[in-house]
Amino acid sequence: MGKIIYWTIIRTAVTIPALWILMSYVQFQYWWFIVLLLVYLVILHPAIMQYKEFERDNKDIIESTLCSSCKNFDRSAVLCIKYDQHPSLENLPCEGTDWEPVSKLNYEEEKQN
């Protein structure tokens, strides 16, 4: 998830000066259309696509590993908070020894978010 945010910031940092320079070459009546188009095409759309890819790549980990039902698991980062490691289908950071179940109520709330 951090990679998505990092590259979104980089693309924003490149787009803003480019738009600033482009402002002197474009008529004002087209300016806002160009700004909105570039912000969507260069910043928002790639971030949305990267996020969808992140969700697709981590769907199995979030839905079907022991970690996903542990209270030390952060779904948004796919991270074991206790060990500060990313679990995978083949590797659980604690190997199941420090697994602590999430209460049923909290698990359903997190699943909905």
Provide CB contacts within 8 A for 64, sequence distance 6+: 89
| 101 strand-pairing partners | 70
Shared domain check, 8 and 46 = yes
* Total tally of structural domains belonging to the chain: 2
Do residue 55 and residue 70 come from a single domain? no
Final residue of a structural domain among 17, 36, 59? 59
Residues 27 and 41 in one domain: yes
Assess contact for 72 and 82: CB atoms under 8 A: yes
* Domain final residue pick, 59, 75, 90: 59
**pLDDT value at 109 more than 80:** no
* pLDDT (0 to 100) of residue 28: 81
Structural domain for 24, as ranges: 1-59
Reading the block at residue 58, the tokens are: 């981590």
What are 18-59's pLDDT values in tens digits? 999 988 888 888 888 999 999 999 999 999 999 999 989 888
* CA nearest to 113, candidates 72, 74, 65, 56: 74
Note whether 89 and 35 are same-domain residues: no
Asked if the model's pLDDT at residue 113 lies above 80, the reply is: no
Q: Which of 61-71 are b and which e, b meaning 16 or more Cβ less than 10 Å from the residue's Cβ?
A: bbeebebbebe
102 dihedral zone (left: phi>0; alpha: psi -120 to 50; beta): beta
